[in-house]
Amino acid sequence: MIRLLVFLAVVFALGLGFAWLADRPGEMLVTFNGYQYQVTLMVAAVAIVAVVAAVMIVWWLIKSLWNSPYTISRYFRVRRRDRGYQALSTGMIAAGAGDGALARKKTKEAAKLISSDQEPLINLLDAQASLLEGDHEGAREKFERMLDDPEMRLLGLRGLYLEAERLGDRNAARHYAGRAAAVAPQLAWAAESTLEELTERGDWDGALKLVEAQKSTRQIERDAANRRRAVLLTAKAQALVDSDPNAARTAALEANKLAPDFAPAAVIAADLVIRQNDLRKGSKILEAAWKAEPHPDIAELYTHARPGDAVLDRLNRAKKLQELKKNHAESSMAVARAALDAQDFATARREAEAAIRMDRREGAYLLLADIEEAETGDQGKVRQLLSKAVRAPRDPAWVADGVISERWAPVSPVTGKLDAFTWRAPMERLGQLIDSETDAAVPAITAAPPAAAPAEKAIENVADAPVEKPLPANGGEKDAAVTEDISEAETAGRSSELPPLPDDPGVAPEEEAEKSPRRFRLF
């Protein structure tokens, strides 16, 4: 459009110029070789313009003839390239559709028309065609050749990573992902795989640097990055508790600052602060976390923050937590446990029953059974409560990828995913315990709920077929008799007529008396 306007402007200017000359009469006299040529000014102007136009046309013709070989060769080269790109486009579509035969055919056609050095996508199509044909070894060789080309290096690493994943070689996959992440940390697949490798090795500082790189490249949102940093810092603090308490304290406090509602960070930060005799600051950390989301570990540390406190002092601290989060099952459970230790059975029973009304679950019935055992020793009522605990929903626990753990862990033991554990009530009742130190699988009934017993270094795998749990502290040959007693008690509704629980084998009456009040846990 602009060129057309310029052309019209030039024509208009020439017209004005010729009109101006036509309105002004004059003659032009030229003497050449003894002859005089006299013409009007208008004719002279037209002749000059015609000569200039003729010279330009002659020059264009000469230039065209001179460049004609190159023009002709360029025309055929462009035509050949267009055919090659058309074949490449068709081949990529065929590869995406899973048509290996057509993809191979178009790969060969494109390779003939276009050089692979000129168009690297031919190498990609060639590798994809090999994968569709089932030639994985050939595809890996093609991906390895891509590593020599800076433009194709990331593509080659991606292909090798996927092939390693397909073969189940996690070490090789993480090696390729690490190389890709070092060059381009914005690649999500490379960063995530490298992050899993770093956390599996316990390289928390390296994982923190990678998360920071992800945040700076806007690969993940700010809130997600802060959550990841909090998880990694908590894991770092756990690893440094014994070797470097000061560094562990710094990491834990930073984690708690990034995620104040994250219970593991609050617990370890408060614990390390309290160890350094700063009870006030540790209590504030626990109180803030308790307001956000009550957790039994928070209550346990808060009530036992001062080892020299009397049982009534611990009960008062539990009541203070309850004031911070009223009408919550965990608050009532914390008060009930502290009241049981203080032998305030009325308060313990009231709070345990309140917890059952708010959240009917296994741990509350077990706690009520403890209270009944300590206060009245009525074995019939105790058995009734135990039978209800067997059938009640399980207490919340740390669950990730079908694995139930009594302790929080930064990564999933199954997939290696960071921040996989969530605090929720597991649906499964049977499982397999895994020793966290030896990784040896041990058949067992479900681990004790965290709310009803101290944490142990055990992780439970989920099984599919639920079966009824046996009661604790009984020999295997006595389980059937105990279960039958419980069933009869529920049918008849007369708990006082039930026979007493059989004594534990090898336990003397004096030793049994020393154990009172007895705490019940289901395994």
Q: What is the DSSP string of 287-345?
A: HHHHHHS--HHHHHHHHTSSTT--HHHHHHHHHHHHHHS-S-HHHHHHHHHHHHHTT-H
Give the pLDDT confidence score for residue 20 in this predicted structure: 79
Lowest mean pLDDT segment, chosen from 71-85, 211-225, 245-259, 474-488: 474-488
Give the pLDDT confidence score for residue 32 in this predicted structure: 78
CA distance 429 to 70: 81
Please state the rounded mean pLDDT for residues 471-484: 38
Q: Which residue has the higher pLDDT, 445 or 274?
A: 274
Torsion over CA of 296, 302, 304 and 309, rounded to 10 degrees?
Answer: -140
Give the pLDDT confidence score for residue 79 in this predicted structure: 84
Q: Indicate whether 494 pLDDT > 80.
A: no
Please state the rounded mean pLDDT for residues 80-96: 86
The residue extents of the domains of the chain are 2-87, 399-514
Inter-residue contact 457 to 436 (CB < 8 Å): yes
Q: Indicate whether 313 pLDDT > 70.
A: yes
Q: Indicate whether 420 pLDDT > 50.
A: yes
CA distance 60 to 316: 103
Neighbours of 55 (CB within 10 A): 10
Give the pLDDT confidence score for residue 336 in this predicted structure: 95
Give the pLDDT confidence score for residue 116 in this predicted structure: 64
Q: Indicate whether 26 pLDDT > 80.
A: no
Give the pLDDT confidence score for residue 265 in this predicted structure: 95
Average pLDDT score over the chain: 79
Q: Which residue has the higher pLDDT, 17 or 386?
A: 386
- Report for 159-173, 190-204, 365-379, 455-469: range of highest mean pLDDT: 365-379
Please give the share of the chain, as a percent, with pLDDT higher than 90: 36
Torsion over CA of 403, 405, 407 and 411, rounded to 10 degrees?
Answer: -10
Bridge partners, 430 (sequence order) = 445
pTM: 0.63
Please state the rounded mean pLDDT for residues 169-184: 86
Give the pLDDT confidence score for residue 248 in this predicted structure: 94
Q: Indicate whether 64 pLDDT > 80.
A: yes
Comparing C-alpha atoms, which of 385, 521, 365 is closest to residue 446?
521
Give the pLDDT confidence score for residue 204 in this predicted structure: 93
- ∠ CA(140), CA(141), CA(143), 5° rounding? 65
CA distance 245 to 229: 19
Q: Indicate whether 246 pLDDT > 50.
A: yes
Give the pLDDT confidence score for residue 208 in this predicted structure: 93
Q: Indicate whether 72 pLDDT > 80.
A: yes
Give the pLDDT confidence score for residue 33 in this predicted structure: 78
For the stretch 271-289, pLDDT in tens is 999 998 899 999 999 999 9
Give the pLDDT confidence score for residue 234 in this predicted structure: 95
Q: What are phi and psi of 67, to 5 degrees?
A: -95, 5
Q: Is the peptide bond before 517 cis (omega within 30 degrees of 0)?
A: yes
- Report for 139-153, 214-228, 279-293, 414-428: range of highest mean pLDDT: 279-293
